[in-house]
Every structure is written in structure tokens, then in C-alpha cells.
Chains A and B, each alone.
With several copies, the nearest count.
Chain A
Amino acid sequence: MKIKVLYFGMIAEVIGHDFEIIEISNKNSTVNELIKLLQAKFPKLEDMSFKVALNQSIVEENTKIGINDEVAILPPFAGG
């Protein structure tokens, strides 16, 4: 299935876009599998710290990704 992944801050800088459409293997893909896929594509990500949000909430790596989920890769926060 295809999902839309949003990138922010230094992650967007490394990847070179604000978002991408990513093909993930099946309906039982987890956040962890997406991370592995992105790290294979962008090796610099392996050295970077980030969190993943599904539908605007931070989730654990074992969370399953659904077809309409809004996925975002978030580098360290710097608000305030």
C-alpha cells in the first residue's frame, strides 16, 4: 500500500523534501518497518534522532500503520 510520509526540520533537510509517497509492503506494516525502509533509502537517518507520529500523535515503533494514517518523522523539538 502507498502512504504519505511528512518530514520536518533537519529530517526534511537530509531527505530533500517535506513529504513523500512511500510504498510499504502490506497492511500489517509497523512503524519499525517504515523506519528500516527509510534508513535503507537515506543512510544518514541512522545517525539521527527522531520520533514518529501517526495521525498527529507520537507512537511506539511497534505500532501498525493503516492506509489512511498521516505519518510524520519528527526530529528533536526546539520550541520556545
Chain B
Amino acid sequence: MNKEKKIKNVFIEGPITPAKIADSIAHHQVKTNIGAHDIFLGQVRADVIAGKIVKAIEYSAYEDMANKVFDEIRESAFVKYDLTCAHIYHSKGIVKAGELCLFVFTSSKHRTMAFDACRYITEEIKAKAPVFGKELFEDDSHVWKVNH
């Protein structure tokens, strides 16, 4: 039974929609041992950089490695925290300013675990996932985004 574990694809083409988030929440209503959910959403900002406004970010990734990293982060969250569920979705391709690029969703019996795990997963993603972002300006020039 040395079957290799199937790694989930975390990437969604384009922005993550509010409808997608509502669907995910609705799917958890059958799990009546859950008392608390925490959801983190990353939204693309129309930052002003050297006088030019960011109109979108174009995300690219080393997808195979990124999916492996997302899976490891998720697994480690289940080890560290008493979770019922944990889900991660990240955009690839163009996400306009105001649209959502990251959706982290943790659920637990009690709020402390849901809060701690959501924050942990988000910080781990920012630090460890090989995802790259090209901030596009109105004049079609760009800069590369770097996480802090």
C-alpha cells in the first residue's frame, strides 16, 4: 500500500469570488461539531508605487512545489491545533485591485484553535509558498511584489 498521497491543487485561475467563499461556508453546516470558523482573505491593494497606481497583480507560482508546501502547512496546522477542517485557496493569473487572491479557512470546536490556526497558516503561506506577484500599473509597466 505504498500509494503516493494525492496532493490537492490550491490554485484558482483569477480572483477568488465571494460566492466561492459562501459555498465553502455552506458546506460546513453539516459538520455540527464545529463551533467556530476563522477566515482570512487577502485582497489586492491599489497601492501607489513611485506615483503609479497598482491596477492588478499577476500571480505565478512554482505550482508543484507550492501545492506541496501548502499541503505541508495544512498538515502541520492539524498537528499543532485541534482543528475540524482547514482549507487554502490561492489565485494564479490576474487579480485586479479590490479582488481576492488568498482564502484561508479554519474550523474548530472552539474559537481559540480556529483563530490560532488561521493566523499560523497565513503566516506560513507568506513565508514559505513559492508564489510570485507582478504588480501591474495602468501604463502596463510593472514591479515585482515581495512579502514582508
Contact = CB atoms under 8 A, between A and B. Distances in A.
Given A72-B65, A79-B125, A79-B129, 6 more contacts: A77-B131, A78-B133, A78-B147, A79-B90, A79-B102, A80-B42
A77 B61 CA distance: 9
B132 A75 contact: yes
Nearest to A18: B60
Nearest to B90: A79
Interface string A42-80: 000000000001001100000000000000101111111
B62 A72 contact: yes
**Size category, B interface:** 20 to 34
B28 interface: no
Interface of A: 6, 8-10, 13, 53, 56-57, 72, 74-80
B122 A80 contact: yes
Contact of A78 (B62, B65, B131): B131
A53 B65 contact: yes
A77 B60 CA distance: 10
A12 B77 CA distance: 32
B138 interface: no
Most buried by A among B59, B65, B126: B65
A56 B64 contact: yes
A76 B57 CA distance: 15
Contacts of B126: 77, 79-80
Nearest to B123: A80
A45 to B, nearest CB: 14
A78 B132 contact: yes
B73 to A, nearest CB: 11
